Amino acid sequence: MAQMATETISNPKPLLTTARLELWKPRAADLNGLVELLAAEETRRFLGSMPAGHAGKFERLLRNAGSWSLYGYGNFIVRLHGTPDIIGICGVFHSWRGNEGLDDVPEAGWILRHDSVGLGYAGEAMRAALAWFEATFGAQRIACMIESGNAPSLRLADRLGFVQYGGEALEDEGGELRFFERLP
């Protein structure tokens, strides 16, 4: 069960905590950690094309913070308890992707550093994020998309209650995307 904390600028605290994790709202100071998180090709392999260096990660940070600012929810920066290193980005955010069923709806997503995959962190973080989202905004449809070859994410989506809808679409780089939804 996740616990909520109050975050202030003078005394920053994670918004949610779980048994092993702290889930933080994104902050400007997270940029270098996001660059490090997404540096390894193994971490990025199912994320499509992504500009190298700080510029692309800065845009991702702005999108994450913008979702919080405009909609009151977004991705969390995930850290192990008491550690400064970012091990993931997980949560429910608002985005426009040009795909039917994904635009202008809450979308779930999770990215974990390659050396943190398989330890249950993504499931732990997403269960806390989904519970917080539903407690705060009510039960509603949440969508997500996953590349067909990403077996760990497909299994997690199933465990979190997401079911596939629609057909498959081609990703820009040629990989197939599958679309899922979690209904109230």
Tens-binned pLDDT, residue by residue, of the chain (184 aa): 555 444 444 447 789 999 999 999 998 888 877 877 766 666 556 565 555 566 666 677 777 888 999 999 999 999 999 999 989 999 999 988 777 788 899 999 998 888 888 899 999 999 999 999 999 999 999 999 888 888 899 999 999 999 999 866 656 565 788 899 999 9
Contact assessment for residue 23 and residue 16, using Cβ atoms and an 8 Å cutoff: yes
Residues of the chain with pLDDT > 70, as a percent, come to 78
Helix (H) / strand (E) element for 182: namely strand 176-182
Say yes or no: domain 3-138 is CATH 3.50.50.60: no
Q: In this predicted structure, what is the pLDDT of residue 55? A: 64
